[in-house]
A and B are shown apart, each in its own frame.
Chain A
Amino acid sequence: MQKIPLADWIETIVSWMEDHLVFLFDIISSVIEGVVNAFNWLFMLPHPLLFIAILGVLAFLVGRISLTLFSVVGFLLIYNLGFWSQTMDTLSLVITSALISVILGVPIGIWCAYSKGAARIITPLLDFMQTMPAFVYLLPAVTFFSLGVVPGVIASVIFAIPPTIRLTLLGIKQVSGELTEAADAFGSTSMQKLFKVQIPLALPTLMAGINQTIMLSLSMVVIASMIGAQGIGAEVYRAVTQLQIGKGFEAGLAVVILAIVLDRFTQRLFTSNKRRR
């Protein structure tokens, strides 16, 4: 029996897109690069110690004293180990991908909640995106966007967007039927129902999705470094290829610190929100 030429088809599609959609990729590329650079510029603007001080104050505002202590000590350690600018590169990349994931994911999630057809098509697509080995995304990303931070962001978004979509969908579906009925009964338009009732009530679930998205995009940083995205992931990758165990551990530790701080921050942000409500 003959093999189905699936690989050939994919390559044909990719090369067609490469030929015909190049202007689109250029636009996307420059936008993403602009956003990443803007964040990076912002994070590098203050002296690291000032940055850490600001971070400490923010941590104190959203959370508890333990979060403040951990953030300050953790980031001081990163500074001390000499990974400051790499960590800021990574932070810019993660925040950019999270931002894009939210901007795309929340509306898609809402669309799925409203349209059964959309949900039926998009849900398996999400399964596909999450289970496909992340390395596979790197190839087309590199083909379309060449090397550097942009394909890293793209691959991160593809890998990290599913939780935002899924949990937005879930959050909106979970709003009790009686409440949406009440919103209808008083003569709300669909938009009013969405923004005044459904989204506020879905917010805790939605925030959990965004938290997951940030974590997943952080988990992509090492992989993204393989296609030339600068940052702490690149340090890890270099250490691994050169068998420098100590160096690898240091860089890995920086990733862990960044992950924990980001996770606690987003979680806190949501719980303090809830307390205020």
Chain B
Amino acid sequence: MSILQIKQVSKLFGPHAEQSLELLEQGWTKEKLAKEKSVTVGVNRASLSIEEGEIFVIMGLSGSGKSTLVRMLNRLIEPTGGEILVHGKDLMKMNKEQLRKVRRETISMVFQKFALFPHRTVLENVEYGLEIQKKDKQKRRDKAKQSLALVGLEGWENKRPDELSGGMQQRVGLARALANDPEVLLMDEAFSALDPLIRRDMQDELLELQEKMKKTIIFITHDLDEALRIGDRIALMKDGAVVQIGTPEEILTQPANSYVERFVEDVDLSKVLTASHVMRRPETIMIDRGPRVALELMRERGISNLFVIDRSKRMLGVITAEDASEAMRSGRTLEDILIVDGPRVHPDVLINELFEVTSLAKVPLAVVDDSNRLVGVIVRGAVLGALAGESNAKEVGPNAENTIS
């Protein structure tokens, strides 16, 4: 059974909202209701069912009702009509106490503008959800610390939120939501307030976390690229109604109507896909190893070159098999045969910019992040393959095949 079922849920704003719902069901249009009854239709009979463990993206332009819809899932906004079933239990029929229990244990939320409490430290923010459940102090501290470690924020526990960058603040937001150990995570435009590079990182990290935790994530966004990158399934909303539900591939290849078509027609794959989509996991060796080890590694993997990194995974250069066997004979070290001026690109470089680099390079293209850490490698042919629709990036991320198609 689906973990979350939304049946014919509507939200109307204005006077006589409930009577107007009947009119809506009788076929009144949104415009007519606005004009004659001064009622605004926020969400118009939306139905979705969300499966356990999937990342379900709700996408639409601003004003399409997606934020309203997601707020009805934990009743921050009361629906005007319809049913919301959590594990088959009707959320609408719950009393305050039961609703609080759902909010505390089942559904957590991450907000667009982070919504961190400025008067509390990072750690106190993360433990808020447990604190109000009156959990034992030491236990909730530990749990909050674990949660912060999960998002890579160890050592920041005693800072104030305003001392952190936007990306880090949203990590705190995520950690706060995870500390409750919820089954469902609602993420309302969680990455929209971040700048594009950080956003990409956060998306990747979310996917990585999801790999480990298998939560059910409902992710709201207005950004098609983001939807395609992280969504297992996408629901497209327009004027409060759900227009299409499908995998990213279905949305792209079989748009349900002209609206969806217009939405996705501008998606030129070479402008959507980036280096991080087509890269593979790199084969690496630590700089302090000898050439013999390097050669052995290459033989084992059947490759002719290796990336050399230091202890903190920073990219130092490339070695080739010929140089390595030469070095082994003459007793030189890896450092002596290191090719340091090989091509490097950032994970966010679009693949149409990669053509030139890959065609000129003699060694595979290294993909390095802002701190020069090696995150992937792009081999010749991968770029063309990606454009042709081959999913050759499976090793990189769990949902890479979706973004490729």
Residues of A within 8 A of B (CB): 176, 178-179, 181-189, 192, 196-197, 200-201, 277
Q: Which residue of B lies closest to A190 (CB)?
A: B96
Which residues on B sit within 8 Å (CB–CB) of A187? 99-104, 129, 132-133
Q: Is B113 an interface residue (CB 8 A)?
A: yes
Which residues on A sit within 8 Å (CB–CB) of B99? 187
Q: Which of A182, A188, A192 has the most CB of B within 10 A?
A: A182
Q: Which of A179, A189, A200 has the most CB of B within 10 A?
A: A179
The 7 closest A-B pairs by CB, nearest first: A187-B103, A187-B104, A182-B115, A185-B109, A178-B115, A186-B129, A187-B100
Q: Is B180 an interface residue (CB 8 A)?
A: yes
Shortest beta-carbon distance from B180 to chain A in Å? 7
Report whether over half of chain A's contact residues are helix, strand or loop; otherwise say mixed: helix
Q: Is B76 an interface residue (CB 8 A)?
A: yes
Question: How far, in angstroms, from A189 to B113 measured CA to CA in the complex?
Answer: 23
Shortest beta-carbon distance from A176 to chain B in Å? 8
B118 touches A186 (CB 8 A): no
Q: Which residue of A lies closest to B71 (CB)?
A: A181
B118 touches A189 (CB 8 A): no
Which residues on A sit within 8 Å (CB–CB) of B176? 186
Question: How far, in angstroms, from A192 to B118 measured CA to CA in the complex?
Answer: 16
Q: Which residue of B lies closest to A178 (CB)?
A: B115
Q: Which of B103, B111, B118, B132 has the most CB of A within 10 A?
A: B132
A181 touches B104 (CB 8 A): no
Q: Which residue of B lies closest to A191 (CB)?
A: B132
Q: Known: A187-B103, A189-B100. Is A178-B132 also a contact (CB below 8 A)?
A: no
Which residues on A sit within 8 Å (CB–CB) of B113? 178
A277 touches B119 (CB 8 A): yes
Which residues on A sit within 8 Å (CB–CB) of B101? 187
Which residues on A sit within 8 Å (CB–CB) of B117? 179, 182, 197, 201
User: Which range holds the interface residue count of chain B?
Assistant: 20 to 34
Shortest beta-carbon distance from A192 to chain B in Å? 5
Q: Is B44 an interface residue (CB 8 A)?
A: no
Which residues on A sit within 8 Å (CB–CB) of B115? 176, 178-179, 181-182
A196 touches B118 (CB 8 A): no
Residues of B within 8 A of A (CB): 71, 74, 76, 99-104, 108-109, 111-113, 115, 117-119, 128-129, 131-133, 176, 180, 186
A186 touches B132 (CB 8 A): yes
B103 touches A185 (CB 8 A): yes
8 Å CB contact of B108 from A178, A186, A196: A186
Which residues on B sit within 8 Å (CB–CB) of A176? 115
Q: Known: A186-B132, A186-B180, A187-B132. Is A201-B118 also a contact (CB below 8 A)?
A: yes
Question: How far, in angstroms, from A196 to B127 measured CA to CA in the complex?
Answer: 12
Which residues on A sit within 8 Å (CB–CB) of B74? 185
Shortest beta-carbon distance from B174 to chain A in Å? 13
**Could you list 20 further interchain pairs (A-B, Cβ under 8 angstroms) beyond the known A192-B132, A200-B119?**
A179-B115, A182-B111, A182-B115, A182-B117, A184-B76, A184-B103, A185-B74, A186-B109, A186-B128, A186-B129, A187-B102, A187-B103, A187-B104, A187-B129, A187-B133, A188-B100, A189-B100, A189-B132, A196-B131, A201-B119
A188 touches B132 (CB 8 A): yes
8 Å CB contact of B111 from A178, A196, A277: A178
Q: Known: A178-B113, A181-B111. Is A186-B103 also a contact (CB below 8 A)?
A: yes
Shortest beta-carbon distance from B375 to chain A in Å? 33
Which residues on B sit within 8 Å (CB–CB) of A188? 100, 132
